[in-house]
Structure 1
Amino acid sequence: MNVEIDQSDARSVLRLNEERIDAHNAGELKNSLLNALEDGCRLLIVDLAAVHFIDSSGLGALLSGYKNANLRQARFVLTGLQARVRSMFELTRLHRVFEIAEHVGDVVVNP
């Protein structure tokens, strides 16, 4: 999985440079999210701007990251959802679970 990680202080931005998040790479995503949180990240922003397709495995990996963030009292924010990806979140009602912002720059560090 092609992931760029930008860390500053207790904030990490994971940019997923993949067109698809599915069963083939969801495990790697789950590990990347867990590693960022284990490194002490207090705000984890997952930038999905390059992702045009996500299936249930990808949603499960993100949900696992969200749960791990909550266990560590960290914020977990998704950004850059493309229309097709956003519709999957709405169809599964996960848009009510996740904190979602339009762009990485829109995320307020201390809300």
Structure 2
Amino acid sequence: MRLETQTQNGKVVISVKEERLDAHNSSELKEHILKTLEEGGRDLVVVLSDVKFIDSSGLGALLSGYKNASQRSGTLVLSSLQPRVLSMFELTRLNRVFEIYPRLQDALSSQGVS
């Protein structure tokens, strides 16, 4: 799985550079998020601008990251979702769990990521 990680404004930005986030690669994202948190990352922004398809495994990996961040008094927010991916969050009502921002800059300047 291709992931780009950088720090911006004190937040860890993880960009998923794959068209699909599914059973074949979601465990790698889950492990990467957990490792980032274990290494001291507190506030994470996951950028999904390249992801055109997400399944339940992908949703589960993000939810696991969200829970792990919360347990460490951190945050995990999402940005730049494609319409089809956003619709999956709406169908599963996970849009009520995650803070979802249309652009990375919106996520970086939000109160949700402190």
TM-score bracket for this pair, using the shorter chain length? over 0.9
Partner SS for 1:4: strand
d(CA) in 2 for partners of 1:16 and 1:34? 15
Taking a change above 3 Å as real, the CA distance of residues 82 and 58 of structure 1, as seen in their structure-2 partners, is: same
Q: Shift of residue 7 of structure 1? A: 2.0
1:81 — aligned with what? 81
1:104 — aligned with what? 104
Q: Is the 8 A contact 2:78 2:100 kept in 1?
A: yes
TM-score of the superposed pair, with normalisation by structure 1 = 0.94
Q: Does 1:57 align with 2:54?
A: no
CA RMSD of aligned residues (A): 1.3
TM-score of the superposed pair, with normalisation by structure 2 = 0.92
Q: Superposed, which structure 2 residues align to 1:8-87 within 5 Å?
A: 8=8, 10-87=10-87
Q: Shift of residue 8 of structure 1? A: 4.6
Q: Is the 8 A contact 1:49 1:81 kept in 2?
A: yes
Percent of aligned pairs sharing the same letter: 54
Q: List per-residue Cα deviations over 1:48-90 (Å, max 9, x = no partner).
A: 0000000000000000000000000111110011000000000
Structure 1 runs (4+) greater than 6 angstroms displaced? none
Gaps of 5+ in 1: none
Taking a change above 3 Å as real, the CA distance of residues 92 and 101 of structure 1, as seen in their structure-2 partners, is: same
Gaps of 5+ in 2: none
1:2 — aligned with what? 2
